[in-house]
Amino acid sequence: SRLGSEIRTLNQNPKRAPHAAMASRTLSFSSLASAFAPFPACSRPRHPPLRLLGLHLSSGHLLRASTLSTAAAPAPDADADADPYEGVDTVEHLLAPKPTSPVGVRMGRLMKMQRRADADGPAAGRGRWFPYLDAFRGAGGVEVTSQEVVDVLEPYILEPRRDRIRRAVQSRSYAVCLVVEGLTDFGNVSAAFRSADALGVQSVHVISCEDNKRYRDNRHVSMGAEKWLDIELWSSPAECFDALKKRGYRIACTSLGSDSVSVYDMDWSHPTAIVVGNETMGISDVALKLSDMHCSVPMKGMVDSFNVSVAAGILMHHAVYDRVSRLGQNGDLTPEENRILLAEFYLRHRESTATVIHEYAKRKANNLVAKL
């Protein structure tokens, strides 16, 4: 009724006619938002109808466009200490520090399967680094294996989508990872994410800068690539590099110093973390001192540096090219690791997929109880 009355007002006021198209669009959204106000809490739809339009309703009838789904729906019996960012779906919020987290908490909030401890890496005799365990923690603490996740979720994913996910997983590698330190232009971060996804670099690390307010949402640059990457957040270079070294990586910071090695002379079959720095100041002195080596892309023109996102793309592209020439391919996951990462990607496919697995975990628990 509100929409109808406002449209009649437009018709009665010819002066507003040139703006009628824009006004009707705005009015339709606001009226649709207010239309859901009468629902009491107990009867409000679990998934608001506007979700089908790519929109979300929140308290106060604020309407915002949905950028991407970065977190699966929580289990029906989610713990009280659940992630405060569960359901937040913008890259901007993804990189913002948790309000309740102590300094040092840096695990990416997109990751679903259980994670391996840093100490359980090459230093512990395990070999090369792979971050996931073959377990998903379902409702009630019931563990679900990667094979169970794949078997349960495949009927919920269209075959063309399944094939594309499988091809992406087969090309993934953890042998090279990207570290971005103190970037203040989120457009550069987003572009680096997009390049990492396109080249099969699965692991990305973000070392925060002091001016987090300058981050801004640029999903149109990243094209949603961050949904499929393992993104870890760190508060300092020392914290990040310590964890990466435990995982068996050498730290290669980009620098134009006299001690820099050309990226074309490096052996990229060795696990390597590529570090790129701030748009203005470059990599911090602390990071340079803590790194294992300095590297650079030879410059042939009058300028002496690339845009930081371009430099990251060139470095990752050459690393992948070098690995293919030496090893025959970039993707190097074992069959078990491939299955675990496939399960991880299935869990990230939609918000509803984790809910399906939580329900499966409940049935699994009930079956175990019944057998006992």
Tokens of 255: 């620098």
State residue 13's pLDDT score: 56
Paired residues of 276 in beta bridges: 180
- For residue 9, pLDDT over 60 is answered with no
Where does the pLDDT of residue 88 fall: very low under 50, low under 70, confident under 90, or very high at 90 and above? very low
Measured CA to CA in angstroms, residue 170 lies from 111, 174, 232, 310, 336 at distances of 18, 12, 22, 25, 12
Whether the Cβ atoms of residue 107 and residue 239 lie closer than 8 Å to each other: no
Tell me the C-alpha to C-alpha distance, in Å, between residue 212 and each of 74, 112, 209, 216, 226. 27, 26, 6, 9, 18
Instruction: Say what the pLDDT of residue 303 is.
Output: 77
pLDDT surpassing 50 at residue 298: yes
Amino acid (one-letter) located at 3: L
What pLDDT was estimated at residue 217?
A: 42
Strands (E), the chain: 55-58, 62-65, 136-137, 143-144, 176-181, 203-207, 230-234, 250-254, 261-262, 272-276, 293-296
User: Mean pLDDT lowest for which of 17-26, 87-96, 164-173?
Assistant: 17-26
DSSP designation for 371: H
Query: Sorting pLDDT into bands at 50, 70 and 90, what band is 166?
Result: very high
Instruction: Say whether pLDDT at 104 is over 50.
Output: no
pLDDT interval class at 268 (50, 70, 90): very high
Distance CA(61)–CA(32), nearest Å, equals 9
What is the residue-averaged pLDDT of the chain? 74
Position 358: which residue type?
H
Strands (E), 158-260: 176-181, 203-207, 230-234, 250-254
Cβ contacts of residue 277 below 8 Å, gap of 6+? 180, 181, 182, 183, 253, 254, 283, 284, 287, 308
Q: How confident is the model at residue 71 (pLDDT cuts 50, 70, 90)?
A: very low
Cα torsion angle, 185, 189, 192, 197, sign: negative
Residue 46 has pLDDT above 80, yes or no: no
- What was the pLDDT predicted at 259? 84
What mean pLDDT comes out for the span 210-222?
Answer: 44
Q: Which residue has the higher pLDDT, 176 or 57?
A: 176
* Domains identified in the chain and CATH numbers: 173-332 (3.40.1280.10)
Q: d(Cα 91, Cα 183) in Å, to the nearest integer?
A: 14
Q: Which amino acid, 208?
A: S
- For the chain, how far is it from start to end, CA to CA, in angstroms? 59
Q: Which residue has the higher pLDDT, 348 or 304?
A: 348
Q: Residue 251 — pLDDT band, cuts 50, 70, 90? A: very high
> Does 319 or 9 have the greater pLDDT score?
319
Minimal CA–CA distance to 149: which of 359, 5, 8, 366?
359
Q: Say which residue the tokens 């890496």 belong to.
A: 121
Q: Residue 45: what pLDDT?
A: 41
Beta bridge pairs of residue 136: 144
Q: Distance between CA atoms of 181 and 1, rounded to whole angstroms?
A: 53
**Predicted local distance difference test score (pLDDT) of residue 63:** 30
pTM tops 0.75: no
Comparing 314 with 8, the larger pLDDT belongs to 314
Say what the pLDDT of residue 185 is: 73
Coil vs helix vs strand at 272: strand
Mean pLDDT, to the nearest integer, of 203-210? 81
Per-residue pLDDT, 132: 95
pLDDT greater than 70 at residue 214: no
Q: What is the C-alpha to C-alpha distance for residues 146 and 24, in angstroms, rounded to an integer?
A: 49
Q: Are 349 and 150 in contact (CB under 8 A)?
A: no
* Residue 156 or residue 77, greater confidence: 156
Query: Residue 283 and residue 266: Cα distance in Å, rounded?
Result: 20
Q: Which of 43-52, 92-101, 267-276 has the highest mean pLDDT?
A: 267-276
